């Protein structure tokens, strides 16, 4: 299950995820391990979590984050083996990605991938959010405008 928690999620990340999903014959069969997701972002200069390098990474400006861990209570997986009903039930693990322009600032966007989402699909999303390739935008988020590299279109 994929839970997109904010309308400002980068469109190219969602598109890359959907393209990766479309080309798979069996979209729920795992094709790789979680290391593939972290490799996707570190290839673009992201830093692995110093305390837990096998489960998280952050971009060099500490704005965007990616983490493999317990899912938030309101995020349920499509795989019924992982459904929880009680607050003290063991939480399933999955990937979460989010952008927070400054510590304590409102989150710009967030996405959650339940444990049934194969890691290679999460890696497609992760590659897009960590890419340093220019993207065209009609409007820039006010909270990050001064931190973005801008170039004229064309």
pLDDT, one tens digit per residue, over 22-44 is 888 776 677 788 999 999 999 99
pLDDT for residue 16 = 83
Sorting pLDDT into bands at 50, 70 and 90, what band is 127?
very high
Radius of gyration of the chain (CA): 16
User: In sequence order, what are the beta bridge partners of 94?
Assistant: 69
Q: What pLDDT score does 68 carry?
A: 94
Sheet strands side by side (includes 109-113) = 2-4, 109-113, 93-99, 64-70, 56-58, 47-48
Q: pTM for this structure?
A: 0.76
Residue 1 — pLDDT band, cuts 50, 70, 90? very low
- Could you tell me which residues are beta bridge partners of residue 113? 2, 95
pLDDT digits (tens, 9 = 90+) for 54-83: 899 999 989 899 999 987 766 666 666 555
Percent of the chain scoring above 90 in pLDDT: 27
3 has pLDDT over 80: no
Query: pLDDT tens for residues 137-150?
Result: 777 666 666 666 66
Q: Output 85 or 104, whichever has higher pLDDT.
A: 104
Residues 79/114, Cβ–Cβ less than 8 Å: yes
pLDDT of 92 over the 70 cut: yes
- The pLDDT of residue 143: 62
Regarding beta strands 2-4 and 109-113, do their DSSP bridges make them parallel or antiparallel, or are they unpaired? antiparallel
Q: Which is more confidently placed, 11 or 50?
A: 50
């Amino acid at each position: 299950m994929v839970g997109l928690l904010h309308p400002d999620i980068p469109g190219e990340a969602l598109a890359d995820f959907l393209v990766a999903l479309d080309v798979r014959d069996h979209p729920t069969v795992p094709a790789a391990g979680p290391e593939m997701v972290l490799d996707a972002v570190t290839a673009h200069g992201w830093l692995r979590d110093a305390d837990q390098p096998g489960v998280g990474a952050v971009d060099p400006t500490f704005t965007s984050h990616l983490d493999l861990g317990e899912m938030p209570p309101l995020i349920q997986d499509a795989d019924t083996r992982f459904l929880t009903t009680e607050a003290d039930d063991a939480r399933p693990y999955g990937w979460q990605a989010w952008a927070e322009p400054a510590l304590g600032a409102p989150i710009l966007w967030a996405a959650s991938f339940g444990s049934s989402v194969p890691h290679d699909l999460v890696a497609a999303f992760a590659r897009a959010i960590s890419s340093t390739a220019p993207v065209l935008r009609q409007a820039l988020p006010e909270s990050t405008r001064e931190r973005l590299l801008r170039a004229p279109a064309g």
